[in-house]
Structure 1
Amino acid sequence: MPLITQLIAVLVFTCLSFAARGEKLRIVTEPWAPYVYEDNGKSLGLDYETTAIVFNRLGIEVEWQFLPWKRCLSMLESGQADGALDIFHSDERDATLLYPSEPLSEVQFVMFYANARPHPFRTLDELRGLTIGTSPGYLYSKDFSDSTLFTREPAPTHEANFGKLVRGRIDLLITDRRVGQHLLDELGIRDKITENPTIISQQSQFLAVRRNAGMDLLVQRFGAELKRFKREPAYAELSARYGAEPAASVKAEKTAATSEKTVEQHESSAQ
């Protein structure tokens, strides 16, 4: 049997095996608007809707669960989940997770401060003595995580972090640019908070699955179909709806912060 025929057969078997057992692919993720979130019981977001379309084209049914990120990772590690949406790639996870060749989206991490207590900066060296709000279960870069210049203080949710920032319980918080901008409108605090323009880091977000039988072929097909979908007008319309920026402009906005890079990875990244 030719190799390509064998590969197709294994993929079909993998897809059919879920249906035959009456099972769905179990995917976990944390609400991370505008990439993935729920609104009045409806699942939405650029990466969620993109992933749902790709899986539908592959004939794979998915069971989604929206949970705090640390819980997502725990379920992934224990085998209670088959994959995670919007997870960052990390070398240490290669032994247990498979990543498609095509990312779902690109995120840029920046910091936000309260207008009543402004802390504009260009490098992490300027944050000496300050308290930075972080998210539990997220993996940050070594420079950020190991720095003794400032204190890192986690909050249970992104909304809670912004609440602490408004009340002066933290000096700044770090999160993705579009997530932060979305929350400024969602929480009605745009007049109270400012985004610091320095881009701390940029990272790709993926759908990753556990290394189980047949999953390597599923990941290959997912990546190929995702790449195909991204070339279609439907994806351009979806991206525009969620304010996605062209890749070229994303690269052009990188700043001199490269010497003090921070990688917020939904420990991940993932989120």
Structure 2
Amino acid sequence: MLNLCRFSRAIGLIILSLLHCAPVAAAKLKLDWPCQRTVISRSATTMPPYSFFNAQQELTGYRIEFMQQIFGRLGCKLEILTDSPWKRSLMLLESGDIDVLMNASKSAEREVYALFSNAYEQERVALYVKAGQQQLHSTIRSLQDIAARGLNVGVIRGNYYGEQFATIQKQRDLSKHVIEAIDKPALYFLLLKDRVQLYLDYYPNGVLALRDENLDKKIVLHPMPPLVIGQVHFMFSRQSVSPAFVRRFDQELLRMQQDGSVLKLQQKYQLLP
């Protein structure tokens, strides 16, 4: 007669043996200096002149070339994933699935999971309205004025628009007037269909994007001057990148600023206001 206890133990030993022998996925190697693996980033593909596909269907643009140049100078291979929304990209960076994002604002919330390079550009936001409605909303002189008048304002989900706007978003009676879009085309739709009366976007890239989408006659800048909300940085995942690598990155970033490489890229893509 079969001894069930002995049989069960035998089966258990076989299962444990199989588990022990099964291949285990290797943990992602933490990026250190010098580069010992490919750097993984992410970019949109529909934001000319920052990132877009050219006639040869090659991903290019100011931010693409910037990343290619600086990581090339560091001796690193670079892989750029495409078209996950910005908020999703932040989640991927937080988990360490991607290593770096460009054009990121520094905030206390992000510093929990990210390391930041030195700043390389000022960040500004501006208001945009339908053409012909500039004077209709000309009394708006601040972001607080928008909320006080009960106007709906569009934003892209996950984007940072400065401390003043972040405060507005936290106030329940005002936050209901903030309408989130997943990307720029959705933002344009909200405005042109009168779901929002204004929207916030960065400057000057918001203007350049409208020009490239042939919408610059339908959507225009609001008279309120663009607001400086801080500086932008490269943002690195604490999960997948070492602080030593970021320090070495900053050295190369400074060299690119000093030798005119950044200015040449800005001129090539007509980014200077």
Alignment TM class, shorter chain as reference: 0.7 to 0.9
Whose radius of gyration is greater, 1 or 2?
2
Give the direction of change, closer, same or farther, for the CA distance of 1:95–1:146 in structure 2 (3 Å limit): closer
Aligned partner letter, 1:137:
G
Q: Please name the residue that 2:192 is paired with.
A: 166
Partner of 2:262: 235
Q: Can you list the C-alpha shifts for 1:210-248, whole angstroms capped at 9, x where unaligned?
A: 2257621211111111111122244322111223338xx
Q: 1:64: how far off?
A: 0.6
How many residues are aligned here?
228
Partner of 2:7: none
CA deviations over 1:107-156 (Å, ceiling 9, x no partner): 21011011243423212343211110111122443333135347011112
1:76 aligns with 2:93: yes
Match of 2:51 in 1: 36
2:41 maps to a residue whose letter is: I
RMSD: 2.3
Is 1:144 equivalent to 2:168 in the alignment? yes
Q: 1:34 is paired with a residue of what secondary structure?
A: coil
Distance 1:110 1:214 in 2: 33
Q: Distance in 2 between matches of 1:213 and 1:161?
A: 33
- After superposition, the Cα gap between the structure-2 partners of 1:177 and 1:214, relative to the gap in structure 1 and judged at 3 Å, is closer
Quote the Cα distance in structure 2 between the aligned partners of 1:214 and 1:155: 31
TM-score normalised to the size of structure 1?
Answer: 0.75
Shift of 1:171: 0.3
Matches within 5 A, 1:52-201: 52-66=68-82, 67-101=84-118, 103-118=119-134, 119-120=137-138, 121-127=140-146, 128-140=149-161, 141=163, 142-147=166-171, 148-149=173-174, 151-196=177-222, 197-201=224-228
| Residue-by-residue CA offset, 1:235-269 (whole Å, 9 max, x unaligned) | 322111223338xxxxxxxxxxxxxxxxxxxxxxx
Q: Which residue of 2 aligns with 1:258?
A: none
Q: Structure 1: where are the runs of 5+ without partners?
A: 1-9, 19-23, 247-271
**Structure 2 unaligned regions, length at least 5:** 1-31
| TM-score, with length taken from structure 2 | 0.75
Give the Cα separation in 1 of the matches to 2:74 and 2:267: 24
What are the equivalent positions in structure 2 for 1:190-229 lying under 5 Å apart?
190-196=216-222, 197-212=224-239, 215-229=242-256
Q: 1:176 to 1:36 in 2, by over 3 A?
A: same
Secondary structure at 1:75 match in 2: helix
User: Percent identity, aligned pairs only?
Assistant: 23
